[in-house]
Amino acid sequence: MGDMDDRDLQDGDEAGQKQGMTRRRFLGAAAVTGAAAGLMGVGPISAAFAADDDLNAPEIAWDYETDVLVLGSGPAGMSCAAWAGRGGAEVMVLEMAAAIGGKGILAGGNLGIGGGTRMQKAQGMLETADIIYQDRTVEALRTDGQKMTIGDVDGGKHTVGQWRKISGCADADGLARVFADKSLDTWDWLDGLGCPFIKANVSAYANVYRGSRYYTTTAAQKVDRNGADGTMEAGGAGLLWPMFDDATAHGAQFFMSHKMTQLIREGDRSGRVVGVEATHDGKTLYFRARKGVFLGTGSWNGSANLKKLFLPWLSMYPHVSGQPYVMNDGSGIEAAIEAGASLTTDRGSDWHGWHRHPGTVWHSMSAPYGMPGTAEPSTATCIYVNADGNRFMNEEIGEDNPAWIGGNPPFYFAQLCSQQKADKDGPIVWIILDETARAAQSLDFTVDTTVQSDMYATAATIAELAPKIGMTAAALGDTVTKYNAFVGATDTDFGKKSMTAAIATGPFHAVKWGIQKHNTLGGVTINDKAQVMDWSSRVIPGLYAAGESAGGMDLIGLAKPIVFGRVAGEWAAQETTTSPAPTHVTLKADHASLAVGKLATLSSVLSGSDGIPSGAAVSFEVKKPGESSFHAIVSRKVTDTGAASTRYKLAKKGTYSFRARFLATADFATSASKVVKVASK
Ligand SMILES: Cc1cc2nc3c(=O)[nH]c(=O)nc-3n(C[C@H](O)[C@H](O)[C@H](O)COP(=O)(O)OP(=O)(O)OC[C@H]3O[C@@H](n4cnc5c(N)ncnc54)[C@H](O)[C@@H]3O)c2cc1C
């Protein structure tokens, strides 16, 4: 009995047992059959639910099976589906919404991918992969060739390269290099698919990031698909539909209104991600992925918990950008966390992707998908007031400014708003203007068409307008009177420069800002193959991610999802689906007298035709008398001959089941296990 160097494990031993509970219970409860019809007419596979004690048997009755399972049909998912299909993999896409495209199909279509595209060349713009890489990591240069400081904004204290290092956005995970190297080829692919690029566009932030001077855009395309009225004017559609066509041409099957609710990972956060649990039409379904599961579920914008983690101040903005078309609830990131994924945030998540829309919280770029809101009134002829009827800012401060400008910090509007009183929709900020200003700009304030009824009011006088928006006539009246006195003189309160007309001619209008986070940064950690990493910086076998679900690289918008979705698809398609070795585990449970108080010796041997992988481990598990599921006892590395053993003290009378399991790794896609039962007297 004294021949083993490990301690004797017994009932009540905590190591491993707690760990094992959740997943075991979950797998044990997975005896579900039946399936919903898939969009493309695929039928359910037949898989019998196997009892725990069966030899080397699966534990889940899979309803569907494929090579690469893509979660989400936004730019990241669509790109992954197309490239996994191009790589020869069988692909299924689960999308929780009723239609494809995610936020991407609502987007303006400005696409920050370059590297020397035909349009850049035609317009005499010089960009290469190395320039993209340098701008994202080392020393970004200004358009005049000077090294850029942070937007030339912090008094020249830091260059952009230094800032990226300070903020952790340099190329720690190798993402920027891959992004730079894959950009041109990815743009060429989209171009070849017929994405209607119309020009290479100079970014508004040209003074900050040299690379992003060269946005290309698909803006203002009419695409005769989807949408309530069958048409859509949105640049993002010009990207998403051609990618969808490419994905389906390569065999991808789309399952709409299918929400992934849990990732299924073998072992206790130590094995491979082999599939997902999903819900559809009130039913629970199981999808198996032989090669990989791809997380393209978008942002954490709709998750209260993830907002608190990544960007606490956003908690006061309840709306999800792109709603009601997209309700990204963070379920993808949360499921990945449960499966062991680590998180990476980007310093830039404080900064980027702020958006405001006059008159609606349901904004999208395209009316069929939400209320478009009215155009932004010129700041020269309006004021912004808070719930008390007071101005609180210089209205000239823009919504989305990532740089320190005029001594104001980035996203100053957001910061100022967050200090104001809030209601169910977020901070209360009203735009006040008169009829002359409205008419001059042809602003459309049609209730329930361009503006929500609770976000617009009008009245013949300011005194009548004020109570309609929850203010006293005196407070709003004083504010307007004071402002009108600044017009033609000086705004001694906030320093506004351009004030072209007083707010004087009725009827007067009040339009509320709808405020949302348009893009989010921060998500699960990925490596340069878009594989998800755990908290020990190990790859989680079989799990890939990109887009707003993935952190790293401090880059907002469509470019990162499309490039890294492609990277994931290419790599996932290449994963091996069969395990050459090991294929079998044997297990013996021995003792001269198997009785209460005695130690059972558990010996297992791993075997297979192609040898034993170095570092392979066998997990020993127990199901005690009266229990319905296994608990981990201990994990042991096997010897060169595949052997491993441990001992376990029997504390009760009855039947013990012991299981030895080899858990799949990045190299070996299948698991093997063996169960033996012993009776304790
Ligand atoms: C109005 C608007 C305009 C924009 N304009 C631009 C622009 O011009 N340029 C630019 O670069 N960026 C723009 N963006 C941002 C850009 O659209 C996003 O950054 C991009 O779409 C993110 O892509 P994604 O694939 O990561 O996520 P998404 O596009 O959000 O797609 C995620 C998908 O996953 C689905 N999903 C989520 N959870 C689950 C689940 N559990 N199971 C199954 N499916 C799930 C969602 O329904 C969604 O379809 C804009 C965004 C908006 C809202």
Chain segment 62-120, per-residue pLDDT in tens? 999 999 999 999 999 999 999 999 999 999 999 999 989 999 988 878 888 888 888 88
Above 80 in pLDDT, residue 215?
no
State the chain's mean pLDDT as an integer: 79
Taking the centre of ligand 1 as the mean of its atom positions, its distance from the CA of residue 655, in whole angstroms, is: 52
What number does the ligand 1 atom closest to the CA of 547 have?
Answer: 26
The DSSP call for residue 636 is E
Predicted pLDDT at 138? 67
Q: Give the whole-angstrom CA distance, residue 366 versus residue 226.
A: 11
Tokens 């080899």, residue located: 662
Predicted pLDDT at 203? 52
Nearest CA to ligand 1 atom 36: 297
SS (H, E, C) 547-610: HHHECCCCCCCCHHHHHHHHHHHHHHHCCCCCCCCCCEEEEEEECCCCCCCCEEEEEEEEECCC
Predicted pLDDT at 587? 80
Predicted pLDDT at 531? 96
The larger pLDDT score, comparing residue 393 to residue 136, is at 393
Tokens describing residue 319: 């709306």
3-state secondary structure of 15: coil
Predicted pLDDT at 139? 62
Predicted pLDDT at 227? 47
Q: Residue 564 region, left (φ>0) first, then alpha (ψ -120 to 50), else beta?
A: alpha
What number does the ligand 1 atom closest to the CA of 75 have?
Answer: 25
Q: Residue 364 region, left (φ>0) first, then alpha (ψ -120 to 50), else beta?
A: beta
Above 60 in pLDDT, residue 23?
no
Residue 428 — very low, low, confident or very high, per pLDDT cuts 50/70/90?
A: very high
Nearest CA to ligand 1 atom 48: 102
Predicted pLDDT at 184? 94
Q: Among the listed ranges 38-42, 71-75, 171-175, 324-328, which one has the minimum average pLDDT value?
A: 38-42
Tokens describing residue 543: 């799990």
| 199-201 vs 215-217, strand pairing mode | antiparallel
Q: Give the whole-angstrom CA distance, residue 108 versus residue 237.
A: 9
Of 86, 83, 82, 81, the closest CA to residue 71 belongs to: 81
The larger pLDDT score, comparing residue 495 to residue 613, is at 495
What number does the ligand 1 atom closest to the CA of 108 have?
Answer: 8
Ligand 1 contact via 67 beta carbon (within 6 Å):
no
Above 60 in pLDDT, residue 286?
yes
Ligand 1 contact via 285 beta carbon (within 6 Å):
no
* Amino acid code (one letter) for 459: A
Nearest CA to ligand 1 atom 51: 107
Determine the angle formed by the axes of helices 559-573 and 75-86, rounding to 10 degrees. 30
Q: Among the listed ranges 111-125, 272-286, 553-567, which one has the minimum average pLDDT value?
A: 111-125
Ligand 1 contact via 259 beta carbon (within 6 Å):
yes
Predicted pLDDT at 220? 52
The larger pLDDT score, comparing residue 660 to residue 43, is at 660
DSSP per-residue string spanning 110-178: EE---SS-HHHHHTT----HHHHHHHHHS--B-TTSPBPBGGG-STT-SBHHHHHHHTT-SSTTSHHHH
3-state secondary structure of 248: helix
What's the Rg (C-alpha) of the chain? 29
The residues that bridge with 275 in the sheet, in sequence order, are 264, 288
Predicted pLDDT at 475? 98
Distances in whole angstroms, Cα of residue 297 to Cα of each of 11, 71, 79, 549, 557: 41, 6, 13, 6, 14
Predicted pLDDT at 51? 32
Instruction: Give the percent of the chain with pLDDT over 70.
Output: 74
Above 60 in pLDDT, residue 563?
yes
The predicted model gives 482-502 an average pLDDT of 97
Residue 400 — very low, low, confident or very high, per pLDDT cuts 50/70/90?
A: low
Of 68, 58, 70, the closest CA to residue 30 belongs to: 58
Residue 664 — very low, low, confident or very high, per pLDDT cuts 50/70/90?
A: low
End-to-end CA distance of the chain: 20
Taking the centre of ligand 1 as the mean of its atom positions, its distance from the CA of residue 298, in whole angstroms, is: 6
Strand runs (DSSP E) across 249-362, as ranges? Answer: 253-256, 259-265, 273-280, 283-295, 343-344, 354-358
Residue 127 — very low, low, confident or very high, per pLDDT cuts 50/70/90?
A: confident
The larger pLDDT score, comparing residue 639 to residue 447, is at 447
The b-or-e profile of 108-125 (16+ CB within 10 A means b, else e) is bbbbbbbbbbebbeeeee
Is residue 635 a contact partner of residue 660, using CB atoms and an 8 Å limit?
no
Predicted pLDDT at 19? 29
To test the pocket of ligand 1, the residue of 73, 93, 103, 399 to mutate (highest count of ligand atoms within 8 Å of its CB) is 103
Taking the centre of ligand 1 as the mean of its atom positions, its distance from the CA of residue 547, in whole angstroms, is: 8
Taking the centre of ligand 1 as the mean of its atom positions, its distance from the CA of residue 260, in whole angstroms, is: 16
The larger pLDDT score, comparing residue 347 to residue 232, is at 347
Ligand 1 contact via 96 beta carbon (within 6 Å):
yes
Above 70 in pLDDT, residue 640?
yes
3-state secondary structure of 640: coil
DSSP per-residue string spanning 506-520: SSEEEEEEEEEE-S-
Tokens describing residue 425: 């929709």
Task: Please give the angle made by the CA atoms of 245, 246 and 249, to the nearest 5 degrees.
Answer: 85
Q: Give the whole-angstrom CA distance, residue 582 versus residue 211.
A: 49
Predicted pLDDT at 382? 98
Above 90 in pLDDT, residue 275?
yes
Q: Say if residue 262 is exposed, middle or buried (CB neighbours under 10 Å; 0-12, 13-18, 19+).
A: buried
The predicted model gives 467-492 an average pLDDT of 98
Predicted pLDDT at 446? 93
Above 50 in pLDDT, residue 17?
no
What number does the ligand 1 atom closest to the CA of 520 have?
Answer: 19
Predicted pLDDT at 642? 81
User: How many CB atoms are located within 10 Å of the residue 67 CB?
Assistant: 22
Ligand 1 contact via 226 beta carbon (within 6 Å):
no
Is residue 662 a contact partner of residue 574, using CB atoms and an 8 Å limit?
no
Q: Among the listed ranges 177-181, 314-318, 398-402, 630-634, which one has the minimum average pLDDT value?
A: 398-402
Taking the centre of ligand 1 as the mean of its atom positions, its distance from the CA of residue 287, in whole angstroms, is: 23
Predicted pLDDT at 583? 59
Predicted pLDDT at 317? 80
Ligand 1 contact via 450 beta carbon (within 6 Å):
no
The predicted model gives 525-551 an average pLDDT of 94
Domains contained in the chain, CATH given: 9-29+579-680 (2.60.40.10), 59-107+236-353+518-577 (3.50.50.60), 110-217 (no CATH), 360-515 (3.90.700.10)
Ligand 1 contact via 332 beta carbon (within 6 Å):
yes
Taking the centre of ligand 1 as the mean of its atom positions, its distance from the CA of residue 104, in whole angstroms, is: 5
Instruction: Give the percent of the chain with pLDDT over 90.
Output: 41
> Is the bond preceding residue 324 a cis peptide, omega within 30 degrees?
yes
User: How many CB atoms are located within 10 Å of the residue 338 CB?
Assistant: 14
Write out pLDDT tens, residues 576-605: 754 444 556 778 777 667 788 888 888 888
Above 50 in pLDDT, residue 47?
no
Q: Say if residue 663 is exposed, middle or buried (CB neighbours under 10 Å; 0-12, 13-18, 19+).
A: buried
Q: Which of 54-58, 74-78, 206-210, 322-326 has maximum average pLDDT?
A: 74-78
What number does the ligand 1 atom closest to the CA of 235 have?
Answer: 8
Taking the centre of ligand 1 as the mean of its atom positions, its distance from the CA of residue 100, in whole angstroms, is: 10
Write out pLDDT tens, residues 150-209: 544 445 555 555 655 555 556 667 898 999 999 999 999 999 998 888 777 655 444 444
The larger pLDDT score, comparing residue 18 to residue 168, is at 168
Predicted pLDDT at 146? 63
Tokens describing residue 680: 């304790």
Q: Among the listed ranges 50-54, 206-210, 481-485, which one has the minimum average pLDDT value?
A: 50-54
Spell out the residues 6+ positions from residue 377 whose beta carbon is closer than 8 angstroms to its own: 358, 431, 433, 437, 438, 441, 443, 511
Ligand 1 contact via 97 beta carbon (within 6 Å):
yes
Tokens describing residue 427: 């901070």
Tokens 């534990």, residue located: 59
The predicted model gives 507-530 an average pLDDT of 91
Of 519, 674, 517, the closest CA to residue 582 belongs to: 674
Task: Give backbone dihedrals phi and psi of 233, rounded to 5 degrees, phi first.
Answer: -105, 90
Ligand 1 contact via 303 beta carbon (within 6 Å):
no
The predicted model gives 633-650 an average pLDDT of 87
The predicted model gives 235-254 an average pLDDT of 92
The predicted model gives 438-460 an average pLDDT of 95
Predicted pLDDT at 599? 86
Taking the centre of ligand 1 as the mean of its atom positions, its distance from the CA of residue 297, in whole angstroms, is: 8
Predicted pLDDT at 189? 97
